[in-house]
Every structure is written in structure tokens, then in C-alpha cells.
Amino acid sequence: MNTSKIGFIGGGNMASSLINGLCQSGHKPENIWVSDINANVLTTLNSSLNVNTLTDNIELLNNVDVVVLAVKPQVLKQVALTLASALSQKPILVISIAAGISQASLSHWLGESLAIVRCMPNTPALVLTGATALHANSNVTATQRDLAENIMRAVGIALWVEQESALDAVTALSGSGPAYFFLMMEAMENAALSFGLSHDIARLLIQQTALGAAKIALESEESPEQLRFRVTSPGGTTEQAIAAFQQGGFNELVGTALTAAK
């Protein structure tokens, strides 16, 4: 897989993260191509990662085995229509990381016979701890599935869903999820400041606590509920906080919020 030539149309934050992850996981920079309309973006990528950069999307397609569409959703249709003719001549794997753009739309714009994988990554990919869900259309081969998964695993975990509609749930869960945790951290910080803790101490304690809780959850075979019970002593301080959350309808509010996102 590390010998595949990978192209990125769009060199923004998510593409840059993927490229950085690929280079760190053993992909050679000379096998990675990036096109973007912003010359400064290309200069930065070339100088920092030594990858191939250009401004012509068609030239990029001619040099790669797989292309990642990493442009903003609102301009994806325009970009895709300009690629259709070239892709009909060279039907390579297309991976889209644009939120909310269906495979049906992508196939309509790019070509009905193309192998297309739609992905829903999240922003922790920026620090190589992302969570990505993928769905392949019926034209994608087993080898192409492996290639797509290999690319997305460069920035974290990558999981396949059986139905494309599941990506809506993934978007509500892990796609938007980092903001939910930031909101919790923000609320905890405000409470800590009201208790008289300094800003720096409060923030660092909250950040390390969030990191530690996530690490325990990742490394444990127990459910979140079981882990919660382990740190909730009967009659103790944690029990008082949990009771206040539950009396305030915390679980129901989280469900309502994720439903709204979905």
C-alpha cells in the first residue's frame, strides 16, 4: 500500500493532516500529490513535507492511483464536474471526505461506474487521533477498500459502515463529537473559576482529566457505565455530581442534541 500514488485535491487542514500521517506511517513524499488554488498552501506543504504540488487537478489525476477529494462541500460539485472526463479515461479510486455529499451525487457528477468511498473523519485527525467511518459503493474492490482504509488509518482509527445512511449517525456522534466534549470542558472550567481556581490550573486539570478518562476507556474492556461506577463511591462527592447531572436530565439532553445533529 505504501507504494500507491495518492493525490489530494484541496490542501486544507484535513488534507494536510492526512498527508502528514501518511508520511509518518511510511508513505514516500514523492508518491503524494496535492493540488490547490492557494499557492501559499502548496508552498507550505512542499517545504514542510516535500510532497509534489501543482495547481492543475487533471495533471494530478494523471499521476496518481487514488484521489482524495478534500475541498469544501459547497464547491465539490463544481470541482467534480471538471474531473469527470479525465476520470472516464482513467477510472481510479475516488475518496471523498466532504460532509453531507452523498455517493449518489458523487456518482452523478463523476461517473456512475467509478469506485467511490465516502468518509466521515473528525477534527482530532489534526493531531493523528481521529475517528473515521467509511462506506464504499458497489464498484469498490477489496484492494481499493484496503487502500482507502490504509489512508484514513494514517490519522487514527477507521471503521466501515454497511449502510451509507449510517454516516449521518456517525456525523452526529464522532464528526460533531469533539465540540460536545469541548462544551463540557468549557462548563467545567467556568465552574472551577467560580470556585477560585486560577485559569491555568483549572484548564490543565480539566484537559488532563479528559485525556486520562479517554485513555482508561480505550484500554478497558468495561463499558462507560461500569467505569463510572468504579469512580463513584456511595455517598461520596462524585455520586453527588452524578445525581445532579441525572436530575437535570443529562442523558435525555445528550440524546436530544445528537438527534438534532443527525
Binding site as annotated, residues: 9-14, 57, 70-73
- Which H or E run contains 188? helix 177-194
Cα–Cα distance for residue pair 200/210, rounded to 1 Å: 16
In sequence order, which residues have a C-beta less than 8 Å from that of residue 208 and are 6 or more positions away?
none
82 and 104 Cβ atoms separated by less than 8 Å = no
Q: Are 160 and 146 in contact (CB under 8 A)?
A: no
H or E segment to which residue 135 belongs: strand 130-136
Residues tagged in the binding site annotation for NADPH? 57
Beta strand spans in 10-106 (E): 32-35, 52-54, 66-69, 93-96
Q: Please, are residues 68 and 8 in contact by the beta-carbon 8 Å criterion?
A: yes
Q: What is the grid cell recorded at 71?
A: 475541498
Residues within the annotated binding site for NADP(+)?
A: 9-14, 70-73
> For residue 252, with 0-12 CB atoms within 10 Å meaning exposed, 13-18 middle and 19 or more buried, which class applies?
exposed
